[in-house]
Amino acid sequence: MEAGPSSDRFFQFTSTEIPRNVEALSAKYILSAFRKVIIELACRLENEDCFVDMRAWFQAWKTGQAEITPDLRYVVYCYGVRHGHEADWLYLYERQKVKQEALNLREDWQEAQKALGCSKDTGLLRRYLRKELGREKDTYLFEYGLTLTPEGRRAIWEEYQDKSGDYHGTYSSDNVIKGLVSESDTREVEEYMTKIRSHQRFYLNKTISESRMWVAQNLQPIHNWLLARELKGH
């Protein structure tokens, strides 16, 4: 949703109503059914308490003062590097290389590999992407992790442009392009379309058209619903 009154209202709704409804549930019910989903969603919506807690947990894990429960490995790793420093990213990178070789740590490696894509440093993400590109069996989770954040999608998009559309990563087309189109005004993508082959232009144009159609059908109803809630004092 493009920045503006509607996006502001939507963000305000999600950042206040989700915690409010969660608090109404019993702690036991949350832990057994929704713990991972709620924490990950809260962090993704930039809830400050969430990413501060995840970063502190990540730092405690780095120094051997805490363990990470299996269901929250991705969230802690992701927001530890996202709200940390390059040294945190490099630490996770070195750890996941060791874990990749151990079969009993394979699941942990998968979560770490995906979380490497959470960094806000687009340059760092691109350097790693270029280094690992072509080793699809080892990097598909990293590429998938990139598609989950604006910075990650930007990193793949810039690689895609530099290679004139001949990027051969696992998630080069559908996920990345749809994500980029949905969060921009499409001008950058449309300008790039003039420089690529016809079949690629067709796909990009189709994606842009579908995104615009969705916005045209849904933006005003969502805006009206959120505004009505405000007027009622919710």
Q: Are 68 and 76 in contact (CB under 8 A)?
A: yes
Predicted confidence at residue 64, as pLDDT, reads 92
> Can you read off the two tokens belonging to residue 69?
């429960």
Contact call for residues 179 and 153 (beta carbons, < 8 A): yes
Q: How many CA atoms lie within 13 A of 96 on its CB side?
A: 25
> pLDDT in tens for each of the 234 residues of the chain?
455 556 666 666 665 666 556 555 555 555 556 778 888 888 888 888 998 999 999 999 999 999 998 889 999 999 999 999 999 999 999 888 776 666 556 778 889 989 999 999 999 999 888 877 655 556 778 888 888 888 888 888 788 777 655 555 555 455 556 655 555 556 666 666 666 666 666 666 777 777 677 767 777 777 777 777 777 765
Cα 226 to Cα 5: distance, rounded to the nearest angstrom? 10
Q: How far is residue 231 CA from its own chain's centroid? A: 33
d(CA 58, CA 68): 8
Residue 112, amino acid: A
Give the tokens for residue 114: 């995906």
Q: Is 171 exposed, middle or buried (0-12, 13-18, 19+ CB in 10 A)?
A: buried
Cβ atoms < 10 Å from Cβ of 12: 13
Residue 105, C-beta contacts closer than 8 angstroms, at least 6 positions apart: 99
CA distance 77 to 88: 9
Report the pLDDT value the prediction gives residue 107, as an integer from 0 to 100.
76
pTM value is 0.68
Domain borders along the chain are: 121-226
* Tokens describing residue 213: 């159609």
Q: Report the pLDDT value the prediction gives residue 225, as an integer from 0 to 100.
A: 75
- Three-state DSSP state, 37: helix
Alpha-carbon Rg for the chain, nearest whole angstrom, is 20
The full DSSP string for 180-195 is: HHHTS-SHHHHHHHTT
CA–CA dist 152, 146 (Å, integer): 4
Q: Which helix or strand (DSSP H or E) is residue 122 part of? A: helix 122-132
